[in-house]
């Protein structure tokens, strides 16, 4: 094992890379902000989770014992709001059907929807088509001046959240995300949350007011040092809702008094539920202690989520929350960050139906985790084509006798390059460069005339690829199976008639046997016109779907 004190990580707090230097040598404690489970996760979430998945995998590859915690926020305004509108709403002779998956139907029109708890917005083609104010107490919606009453039983927020925890788990498996060591939920952490809030009150940085509890930002002078904001600037933009029981505009809720129909728990301040940020303070403290090594999340969590987390945790414990703050860059869709309020969001599940999971991972790894990444059909198609190259190479390598063996000097060089580049703040794109070198070498060996020598070298190379595979979460499938599955998917997407292809290939091979090459080439042309490429190999003729158009 190479020296492991060379890993450097960019810390948002300092704005610079720093040595990893774990609190306990050889062990790394990682906390990643997981999904708020109000609906299906989108590909932007998926990118962030994949980034930290690779970070954890790499640290383990480097010999660290990693404790990886990624939470589920299953108690939250967005969940409550979503659960409240999901279901059937009737009136005016029409039915509004609001589905948990984020789609809605009004008559024969289809929409995506969002809600802020006060109104339901129906969106199509990125434009809000209708807004329906919600009358919570009366359980009615007003859509285009028609008053709609709920006609299906309301889903409670907790089971709505539980469903999307399961959906997330399914997506995570499909994306080959490692299971974290602990995946805590807010609903399982209420006592710890209450306890930390009590401590904040006793330290006089928090106060109870009308059943709510607020963190008093002015009592925590170090506030906003992660986002590097000036308190005066924040005050200028702070919102004060009339019903708020806050002392000062910047104060934020640790505990919210229960409103009718909301999930709630008993507390010293009456029935209520945690505010948005406190759960991460409680969960990280419960499973990783007062101070841990790495805290990850998307760029957009810096303010206010992580800022508030720091304030709560550090005010409560008096200790530094974490040594290094890592933030993943956004995934851009059509030149802009995906915006839920406009409904231009691609769900991970939909993306996985179109493109191979490992191709999606490869795409996520094609640039540095902190840089923006544009989600386009072309880049996805490129990723899948590249993955096909890797798998084709591995398939060929698998046909050789499985001879163990030491990695060649050449292989060692590529491995070293991969480690060097990953050591420098997990440079994914750099790692992919080293990967290309490795596969180039493998193909050279596979093409080599000196089979004995090649097979010996191939053994060591294959082991090296396997190691890298575990780091990147790529090439986890059987190569032949992957290639076949991809072909099947393309066949289905393009509506290709396989029996026709088989017949044409047979016809061509008959022609070839008869040395009628003119006819054989004609058949090749016919197949080409169908979007099929054929390969003559020593073991027969195989075919694939030409990748001449982006995967749709």
Distance from C-alpha of 189 to C-alpha of 462, rounded to nearest angstrom: 45
In the complex, minimum distance from the CB of residue 468 to RNA, in angstroms, rounded to a whole number: 14
Q: Which phi and psi angles does 230 have, rounded to 5°?
A: -95, 135
Half-sphere exposure of residue 182: CA atoms within 13 angstroms, side-chain side: 17
Distance from C-alpha of 364 to C-alpha of 5, rounded to nearest angstrom: 27
Q: Which one, 89 or 375, has the nearer CB to RNA?
A: 375
Q: Which phi and psi angles does 187 have, rounded to 5°?
A: -65, -15
Q: Which one, 91 or 550, has the nearer CB to RNA?
A: 550
Q: Which phi and psi angles does 325 have, rounded to 5°?
A: -100, 120
In the complex, minimum distance from the CB of residue 476 to RNA, in angstroms, rounded to a whole number: 20
Q: Which phi and psi angles does 90 have, rounded to 5°?
A: -120, 160
Distance from C-alpha of 370 to C-alpha of 480, rounded to nearest angstrom: 34
In the complex, minimum distance from the CB of residue 86 to RNA, in angstroms, rounded to a whole number: 17
In the complex, minimum distance from the CB of residue 167 to RNA, in angstroms, rounded to a whole number: 13
Give residues with Cβ within 8 angstroms of 324, minimum separation 6.
Answer: 9, 11, 13, 18, 20, 293, 294, 295
Q: Are strands 331-333 and 373-375 parallel, antiparallel or unpaired?
A: parallel
In the complex, minimum distance from the CB of residue 152 to RNA, in angstroms, rounded to a whole number: 25
Respond yes or no on whether the N-terminal peptide bond of residue 304 is cis (omega within 30° of 0). yes
In the complex, minimum distance from the CB of residue 364 to RNA, in angstroms, rounded to a whole number: 10
Q: Which one, 72 or 111, has the nearer CB to RNA?
A: 72
Q: Which phi and psi angles does 295 have, rounded to 5°?
A: -125, 125
Q: Which one, 138 or 240, has the nearer CB to RNA?
A: 240
Taking CA atoms, 450 is separated from 317, 379, 439, in Å, by 66, 37, 18
Helix (H) or strand (E) run with residue 315 in it: helix 307-317
Q: Which one, 97 or 417, has the nearer CB to RNA?
A: 417
In the complex, minimum distance from the CB of residue 470 to RNA, in angstroms, rounded to a whole number: 20
Q: Which residue has the tokens 């383990």?
A: 60
Q: Which one, 88 or 533, has the nearer CB to RNA?
A: 533
In the complex, minimum distance from the CB of residue 440 to RNA, in angstroms, rounded to a whole number: 4
Q: Which one, 62 or 347, has the nearer CB to RNA?
A: 347
Q: Which one, 15 or 25, has the nearer CB to RNA?
A: 15
In the complex, minimum distance from the CB of residue 520 to RNA, in angstroms, rounded to a whole number: 4
**Ordered strands of the 212-215 beta sheet:** 206-209, 212-215, 252-257, 272-274
Q: Which one, 343 or 407, has the nearer CB to RNA?
A: 343
Distance from C-alpha of 64 to C-alpha of 417, rounded to nearest angstrom: 20
Per the structure block, which two tokens stand in for 294? 């790495």
In the complex, minimum distance from the CB of residue 160 to RNA, in angstroms, rounded to a whole number: 15
How many residues does this entry show for the chain? 552
Q: Please name which of 424, 421, 425 lies closest in space to residue 468, comparing C-alpha atoms.
A: 421
In the complex, minimum distance from the CB of residue 539 to RNA, in angstroms, rounded to a whole number: 12
Q: Which one, 35 or 263, has the nearer CB to RNA?
A: 35
Torsion of CA 47, 53, 54, 58, to 10 degrees: 160
DSSP three-state, residue 122: strand
Q: Which one, 94 or 417, has the nearer CB to RNA?
A: 417
Are the CB atoms for 249 and 239 separated by under 8 Å?
A: yes
């Amino acid at each position: 094992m190479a020296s492991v004190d060379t890993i450097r990580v960019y810390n948002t707090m300092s704005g610079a890379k720093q040595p990893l230097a774990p609190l306990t040598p050889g062990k790394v404690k990682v906390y990643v902000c997981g999904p708020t489970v109000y609906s299906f996760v989108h590909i932007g979430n998926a990118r962030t989770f994949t980034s930290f998945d690779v970070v954890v995998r790499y640290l383990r590859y480097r010999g660290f014992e990693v404790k990886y915690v990624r939470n589920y926020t299953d108690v939250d305004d967005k969940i409550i709001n979503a659960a409240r509108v999901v279901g059937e709403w009737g009136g005016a002779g029409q039915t509004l059907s609001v589905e948990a998956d984020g789609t809605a139907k009004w008559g024969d029109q289809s929409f995506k929807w969002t809600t802020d708890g006060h109104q339901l917005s129906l969106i199509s083609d990125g434009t809000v088509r209708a807004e329906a104010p919600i009358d919570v107490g009366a359980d009615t919606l007003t859509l285009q001046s028609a008053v709609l009453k709920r006609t299906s039983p309301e889903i409670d927020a907790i089971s709505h959240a539980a469903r999307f925890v399961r959906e997330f788990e399914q997506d995570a498996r499909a994306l080959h995300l490692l299971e974290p060591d602990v995946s805590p939920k807010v609903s399982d952490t209420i006592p710890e949350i209450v306890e930390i809030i009590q401590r904040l009150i006793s330290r006089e940085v928090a106060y109870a007011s009308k059943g709510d509890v607020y963190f008093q930002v002015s009592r925590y002078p170090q506030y906003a040092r992660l986002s590097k904001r000036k308190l005066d600037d924040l005050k200028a933009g702070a919102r004060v809702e009339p019903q708020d029981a806050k002392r000062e505009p910047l104060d934020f809720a640790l505990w919210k008094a229960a409103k009718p129909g909301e999930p709630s728990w008993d507390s010293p301040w009456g029935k209520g539920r945690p505010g948005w940020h406190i759960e991460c303070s409680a969960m990280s403290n419960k499973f990783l202690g007062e101070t841990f090594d790495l805290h990850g999340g998307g760029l957009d969590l810096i303010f206010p989520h992580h800022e508030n987390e720091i304030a709560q945790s550090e005010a409560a414990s008096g200790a530094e929350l974490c040594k290094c703050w890592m933030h993943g860059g956004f995934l851009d869709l059509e030149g802009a960050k995906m915006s839920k309020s406009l409904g231009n969001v691609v769900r991970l599940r939909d993306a996985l139906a179109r493109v191979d999971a490992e191709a999606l991972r490869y795409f996520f790894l094609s640039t540095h985790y902190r840089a923006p990444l544009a989600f386009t059909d072309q880049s996805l198609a490129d990723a899948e084509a590249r993955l096909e190259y890797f798998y084709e190479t591995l398939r060929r390598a698998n046909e050789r006798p499985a001879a163990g063996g030491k990695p060649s000097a050449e292989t060692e060089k590529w491995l070293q390059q991969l480690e060097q580049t990953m050591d420098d703040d997990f440079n994914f794109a750099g790692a992919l460069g080293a990967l290309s070198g490795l596969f180039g070498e493998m193909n050279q060996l596979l093409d080599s005339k000196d089979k004995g020598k090649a097979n010996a070298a191939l053994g060591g190379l294959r082991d090296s690829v396997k190691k890298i595979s575990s780091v990147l979460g790529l090439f986890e499938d059987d190569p032949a199976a992957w290639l076949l599955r991809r072909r099947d998917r393309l066949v289905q997407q393009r509506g290709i008639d396989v029996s026709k292809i088989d017949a044409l290939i047979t016809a061509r091979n008959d022609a070839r046997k008869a040395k009628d090459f003119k006819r054989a080439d004609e058949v090749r042309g016919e197949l080409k016109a169908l979007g099929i490429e054929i390969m003559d190999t020593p073991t027969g003729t195989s075919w694939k779907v030409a990748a001449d158009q982006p995967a749709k």
